[in-house]
């Protein structure tokens, strides 16, 4: 399974969201490494749980921004978040079986190529129109993510 490399293509232009995404890609790559090295179920689940925990916190952060700035596509965006978390949890159930690799690949494709590149990009483009540029950085609430664990 291939790791994901973080590059400018994945950037949305929103400093906090991009920092979160970069860290989530890093955690995702840890899951891929563990899966590629055929680590036991417990190790896989531990790494995956961390990714899920951080992903949840990131989604909650984006959802707070959507509420605060009355994002019109909030319901659709939140439904995608829910689906992505469901996929991650489905993978968690049995990471040692060969079929379990499929949801992980789907998670990668949907989360990165679809969600980050389209839905998150649309959200940040919207935020850029409603938050004055001079206050843009200050108006961005701090993400609750703590990657120092």
CB of 52 to Fe ion, least distance (A): 14
Give the integer Cα–Cα distance in Å for 15 and 137.
8
CA angle 8, 79, 14 (to 5 degrees): 30
In the complex, the smallest distance separating the C-beta of residue 106 from Fe ion, rounded to whole angstroms, is 16
Distance in angstroms (rounded) separating the CA atoms of residues 20 and 42? 26
Q: Among the candidate windows 25-33, 39-47, 100-108, 115-123, which touches Fe ion by CB under 5 A?
A: 115-123
Using the rule CB under 5 A, is 18 a contact of Fe ion?
A: no
Q: How far is the CB of 34 from Fe ion (least distance, A)?
A: 23
Total residues found in the chain within this entry: 149
Residues 126 and 142: their CA atoms lie apart, in Å, by: 19
Nearer to Fe ion, 18 or 95 (CB): 18
DSSP 14-27: -HHHHHHHHHHHHH
The stretch among 40-48, 62-70, 98-106, 138-146 that binds Fe ion (CB under 5 A) is 62-70
Out of 28, 32, 44, 62, the residue judged to bind Fe ion by CB under 5 A? 62
Residues ≥6 apart with Cβ < 8 Å to 7: none
> By rule CB under 5 A, what count of residues binds Fe ion?
2
Q: Is 120 in the site for Fe ion (CB under 5 A)?
A: yes
> Would you tell me which residues interact with Fe ion (CB under 5 A)?
62, 120
């Amino acid at each position: 399974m291939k790791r994901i490399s973080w590059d400018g293509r994945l950037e949305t232009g929103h400093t906090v969201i991009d920092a979160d995404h970069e860290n989530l890609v890093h955690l995702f790559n840890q899951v891929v490494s563990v899966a590629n090295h055929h680590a036991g179920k417990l190790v896989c689940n531990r790494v995956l749980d961390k990714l899920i925990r951080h992903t949840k916190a990131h989604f909650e952060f984006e959802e707070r921004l959507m509420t605060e700035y009355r994002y019109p596509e909030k319901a659709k965006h939140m439904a995608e978040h829910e689906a992505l978390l469901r996929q991650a949890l489905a993978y968690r159930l049995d990471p040692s079986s060969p079929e379990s690799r499929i949801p992980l690949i789907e998670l990668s494709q949907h989360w990165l190529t679809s969600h980050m590149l389209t839905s998150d990009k649309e959200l940040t483009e919207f935020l850029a129109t409603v938050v004055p540029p001079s206050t843009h950085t200050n108006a961005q609430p701090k993400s609750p993510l703590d990657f120092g664990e």
